[in-house]
Amino acid sequence: MKNHRQEAILEIISEQPVATQELLIQLLSDRGINTTQATLSRDIQQLSLVKQRDENGVYRYSLPASAVAEKSFFEEAVLSVDYAMNTIVLKCRAGMAQGTCAAIDSVNHQGVVGTIAGDDTIFILVRSEADARKLSKKFRSELFPRR
């Protein structure tokens, strides 16, 4: 349910300007997703949404530029995602691991202790196996949404 709700939030803010949580709650409700303001506030924080002025000067929720950069790097560079215990391994196209790793670092994912990148591999050390499972799942869903 949470993932479905958060995906809907991202779809909504990419389709139209949303300036308030009240409007976002209504737009979610229109899609059959009922939520509270407290839950929505947590979703906004977990998604790292920010309020920025758009090209018309209207404040709206959006992904931070660093998250957009991360997704772009991911789509181009990452070939596979796996984890063992509390370490996530991303296999990348040759020469693309370091730039992708920098994009990951710029987003400050929850539970990440540190990252290291070679030419085509990134190791992400997280605090627990549960954190590794959760972040790996997030990366896979962003990279390979239809799998």
Exposed, middle or buried, 125 (CB in 10 Å: 0-12/13-18/19+)?
middle
Helices (H), the chain: 2-15, 21-30, 37-46, 65-77, 97-107, 129-143
Domain assignment of residue 73, given as a range: 65-143
Per the structure, how many domains does the chain have? 2
CATH code of residue 12: 1.10.10.10
What pLDDT tens digit does each residue of the chain (147 aa) get? 777 888 788 888 888 889 999 999 999 999 999 999 999 998 888 877 888 887 778 888 887 665 555 566 677 789 999 999 999 999 999 888 888 887 788 777 889 999 999 999 999 999 999 999 999 998 888 777 655
Q: Which residues pair with 124 in a beta bridge?
A: 88, 115
Output the pTM of the full model.
Answer: 0.55
* 53 & 34 share domain: yes
